[in-house]
Every structure is written in structure tokens, then in C-alpha cells.
Structure 1
């Protein structure tokens, strides 16, 4: 398992020492620091990516509850406290766990197990989403076989009568289907129809004006019917501000 960067924010020295001893029993937990208040922990949160915080609730200055509300969702919280009355509010903040002091190794291990399971599940989901976005593909019938084309390799589609040409950086594929049929198969946000004969990949557009779009050295016309939609979409993309 990859290292998990963690910190302790605890103003009671015995509780802080006990947490440090528990953390030391797990090779994948990398303790980056111990702090007695939220304000003292701010610098390390700015300089390091902290995955997990063991957070007391009754702290000097800002409470653990207040602090947890200000954190990004990527940082997980395990509350450590001597009081049961904060449990509901703690879990409403999507805390991984809520451990009552004194914290036994058995109870600590249970909390870490819960965190690692959630972390692994999130990593699997994120990996699947990244694969779906980065390497989405379509199958097209080309030369009597079904050909797999990755969407991130396609530059544009061109309608030619009753067939469709699919252009990548190095190849052109011919398939017998309409451009409208193809447009319906494509995920939203990656491609845009600019003309009755052309659909282009937005991330392959290198320049444009009111009448044309350029992809590498190829200039493609923008149809009058599509002009306002295309201009609005392209103007909203990063790096294409006018």
C-alpha cells in the first residue's frame, strides 16, 4: 500500500503520545507531525499533501469540528475525543470514524481498516473514471471488420454522401454511416458539430475564427447554422478567451 501521510492535532500530551505509538505499528502510516492546535498545523497542511488527520474536537482556538468543515474532501478525518455528544455532528462531516479516549490499539486498528477500505475503493473508482475519460473508444465497421478507435486519437469526422471519413493524426478511416448517427454515439463535451458535414474534437482545435476551425494544418468551415453554438462553446474553453 502507498504511504499515507497523516498528522495528529491533539492538545493532551498522553493522548498524543498514545496515538503516535499506535501509528508507529502501521508501516504505511507516515506521521508528518504532531500539533496542539489547528493554527499550529496550518503550515504543514500548506506544504504537504496530508491524507489523514487524527483530530481532537476540544482544542484551543478553533475547534476540531470547525476546522473539519474548512477542509477539502480529499483529506480524511478520524475524530479523537473524550466526549460522546459530538458523534452525530462528526459523522455528518463524513468523518471516517469517531474514537473515544482512551484509544485502545484494537479500536485504532478498526478505524484504520475502515479508512484503508474507503481509500482503496475511491482509488478503484477514480482509476475506472480516468480510463473511461482518457481512453474511451468506439467500434466502426471499416473494410468488412469492426475497428476499435480511441476517441482521444480522432481529430474530426467528415461526411461524404452515404459514408463517413474519420481522421486521426496519421490515418483516415471510411465507414458507411451518417454523420448524425455518429454524432449520437459520441459523449457530450468532447466533440462538436460545426457544419452539416463536419464534427470536430474540441481538444484538437488549434485556432478558429467566425468562419473556420483549424486542426493542425487542416481548415474546416463553420456552417452558418452552427456558428453561434460553436463560437459560444469554443470561447468557453481554457486558452480560447476572446
Structure 2
């Protein structure tokens, strides 16, 4: 997956190299060249005022070198170094640059660097999406048999009080804790779980069918307690209307 647009700039003090880079960039529809500069100082204003994704940066520049300048940039700006000296590549990779291009830069080598950048961006986007999805999954911590477990609410089928224990039935396992249903309810977000019996606490969205006497979750029929009947039916009917 290629980003819709990649905003880039060139910082290069050699005119032939700058023109060649511009020609290469023009062959990629998704690369949007926002400017060409001959020194880092002249590029600073644009970097501060516009969102730049990718920087083609010459290492050997007048004043502050490309290496020194790269150390001052935000980590989310991709850097592809350009250089006439292969020895500079070591410094570039220490800064986790996307790539370095040896002048004169061929289109084939330039193209490899762009595809490498796109691949890294795709991996970063996937990681961010997974991280965001993980953060959005509600969970609770429960102490079970000398371990504190992180249980995702979406994987819990129901809670069952059994003697001095509380069984937590999930999609793949069953865990035992000394906590009571009342203690568990205090940890849960309001409106997602419902106590239907003195021994059973259920997630409303897992109910597949119900009547005045029982609810069914994952082909498991759970009784509705007499004292909880009216509240249970009202909550289930209201939940289904949402």
C-alpha cells in the first residue's frame, strides 16, 4: 500500500545532482516535491511550516553537514542521504536513514530507495493500526491462581460463581479467581455486563437468545434468577433495540 501523497524536499548544493533528483521524483506520481534547497538553513522555514514526509539530503553541505542536520530532525521524517563519498554511508545508517544514494544517482537505484521507504511506511502503518486496535480493546486484570491475568472483555463469555471461587469462562479457557461477582462488577465498564442470577454475570452482546427463564451464550444455557428476571428481560430488550 503506497501513501496517497508523499511530501518531499531536496537539500543539495550541486545543481546537476539536484536536477537529476527532481527528474527521478517526477516519475513517481505519489511523490510531491515541495522545494529544492542548497543548504539546510534555507530549508528550515519550510520544514517548520509544512508537513514533510521524506527528505533527500546531501551529506556534504556548506555550513552544517547533512549528518549534523539529520540529528535535529523529528523521527517521523524519512531521510535518504545522497553522497559522492561511499565512506559517508556508515554515518548515514547509524542515524537509521532509509537509504543512501551514491552520486551520480541512477534511476534504478533511486527507485529501490523509494520502494524501501514505502515498505517501511507500510510496516509502520500496520504497527500503528495494531497498537491502536490493542489500545481500544477494553480489558481487566484479575488475580487467578497466583498470577495476575490480563483478560480482554470481548473474549469473556460469562462469569460463574462457584462456592468460594469465581469461574471466568472465555472463548478459549476457564480461569478461577477468589474474587466475588460484586468485586468483578466494580472493575467492569457500566452497561456492558449484566447480572442475571446470584451466580451468573454475562456480557450483553454475547447473548444469542433468551426467554423469561434463561439466556443462551455460545450454546450454553444459563438460568435467570427469580429476583433478577424483570431487570434481565428489560435490559436485554433495551440492548437489542440499540
Question: What TM-score range do you get, normalising by the shorter chain?
Answer: 0.5 to 0.7
1:50 aligned counterpart, secondary structure: coil
Q: How do 1:25-174 and structure 2 match up within 5 A?
A: 25-136=27-138, 137-138=152-153, 139-142=155-158, 164-165=184-185, 167-170=188-191, 172-174=193-195
Distance 2:184 2:120 in 1: 46
RMSD of aligned alpha carbons? 2.8
Q: Contact (CA 8 Å) 1:54, 1:80: kept in 2 or not?
A: yes
Provide the C-alpha distance between the structure 2 equivalents of 1:117 and 1:164, rounded to a whole number of angstroms.
44
Deviation, structure 1 residue 52: 0.6
Gaps of 5+ in 1: 149-158, 178-242
List gaps (5 residues or longer) in structure 2.
139-151, 161-167, 172-178, 201-242
What per-residue deviation string (whole Å, max 9, x for no partner) do you get for residues 120-163 of structure 1?
A: 11111111111000234323343889689xxxxxxxxxx76677
Offset of 1:25 from its aligned partner? 0.4
**Structure 1 contact 142–173 (Cα < 8 Å) conserved:** no
Residue 95 of structure 1, CA deviation: 0.7
Task: Kindly report which structure 2 residues correspond to 1:154-233, keeping only aligned pairs within 5 A, or say none.
Answer: 164-165=184-185, 167-170=188-191, 172-174=193-195
TM-score scaled to structure 1, two decimals?
0.62
User: CA contact under 8 A between 1:7 and 1:34: conserved in structure 2?
Assistant: yes
Could you tell me how far apart the structure 2 residues matched to 1:108 and 1:45 are? 23
Please show how residues 6-21 of structure 1 align to structure 2 within 5 Å. 6-21=8-23
The residue matched to 1:71 in structure 2 has which SS? coil
Would you say the 8 A contact 2:79–2:97 is kept in 1?
A: yes
Instruction: Flag the 1:99–1:171 CA change in 2: closer, same or farther, 3 A.
Output: closer
**Count of aligned pairs between the two proteins:** 168
How much has 1:85 moved relative to structure 2? Answer: 1.5
Per-residue CA deviation, residues 162-193 of structure 1 (Å, 9 max, x unaligned), is 7732654545523969xxxxxxxxxxxxxxxx
